[in-house]
Amino acid sequence: MPKLIKQRTIKKQVSASGIGLHSGNIVELTLKPAAADSGIVFKRLDIENSELIKAKPESVTDTMLCTQIGTNPAQRIGTVEHLMSALYGCGIDNVIVELQGPEIPIFDGSSASFMLLIDSAGIVEQEADKKFIKIMNHVRVEEEGKFAEFTPNDAFSLDLEIDFNHPVIPKQEKRFEITGEFYKEDIARARTFCFQKDVEYMQSIGLALGGGLDNAIVVGDFAVINKDGLRYKDEFIRHKVLDCIGDLYMVGHPILGHFNSQLTGHGLNNKLLREIFSDENNWKYITLPEDSSSVPFIV
């Protein structure tokens, strides 16, 4: 009988501080090892008796410009998608995420810094078998001319389309096969982005207060403002993939299926997850052997 892929956590506690993209506050982030089958759990330490928030679709309570979790408005945690994406890319199943503040630090606007943090902590296998969620039925959600859907597939792949009607960001459609080192090399360094014309409005309503050229791509009317330009020629759609992976990993397990979307965002991604889990016939848990070609993260 082949050896099955095991669950993973980090070897030791590790911390880092950085600015929150929307709050503008310096936030300390700590990752701690967690027991098998405990999942990804968030907790704010700056609030007395704060709740534990587990990564699951129902924990998402706001999706305006980021993925925010927590049912208690006073204890919510924002901008979790880049960290969740990095945890997925490293194959981490169980970890405790502690914060001194209201959102995950933005660091450089990608998930690369989180992956370095996880690497510095080290990764350890646990005794329990890793659970994958296999999509069994076609599930689709639509909203204002946008859609997101999953169809059955033995591996995890994505078809994305973006269209911002802007001369700097052409309409793009691309398929991504998420396996092995691909995430680390081709997705993790893709940064979040915004339009220069929107920054003033966002800051006027209390968003993007910590944003700048060191943690986001800023797009002007006819060019990227960042003096060093783009990390990838198609960095914009690659960051959308990074976001989608983080949003989808809110189920707490890697998904095996084909994700297809047109102009999707955090809200539609979460709506799709909730629709999938509204019917137990849409999915099932499976395990995979260590030599499986379907493994969608770094081994």
Q: Can you tell me whether residue 115 is helix, strand or coil?
A: helix
- 281 three-state secondary structure: helix
Six-digit token pair at 41? Answer: 């759990």
Which residues are marked as active site? 266
Q: How far apart are CA 102 and CA 18, in angstroms?
A: 12
Which domains does the chain possess?
A: 6-128 (3.30.230.20), 132-286 (3.30.1700.10)
Which amino acid, residue 235? E
CA 11-69-244 angle, to 5 degrees, is 75
Q: Which two tokens stand for residue 64?
A: 């305006």
Break the chain down into helix, strand, coil percent, rounded to 5.
25, 35, 45
Per-residue pLDDT of the chain (299 residues; tens, 9 = 90+): 789 999 999 999 999 999 999 889 999 999 999 999 999 999 999 999 999 999 999 999 999 989 999 989 899 999 999 999 999 999 999 999 999 999 999 999 999 999 999 999 999 999 999 999 999 999 999 999 999 999 999 999 999 999 999 999 999 999 998 876 889 999 999 999 999 988 888 888 887 889 999 999 999 999 999 999 999 999 999 999 999 999 999 999 999 999 999 999 999 999 999 999 999 999 999 999 988 876 766 65
In this prediction the pTM is: 0.95
Q: How many CB atoms lie within 10 A of CB 3?
A: 9
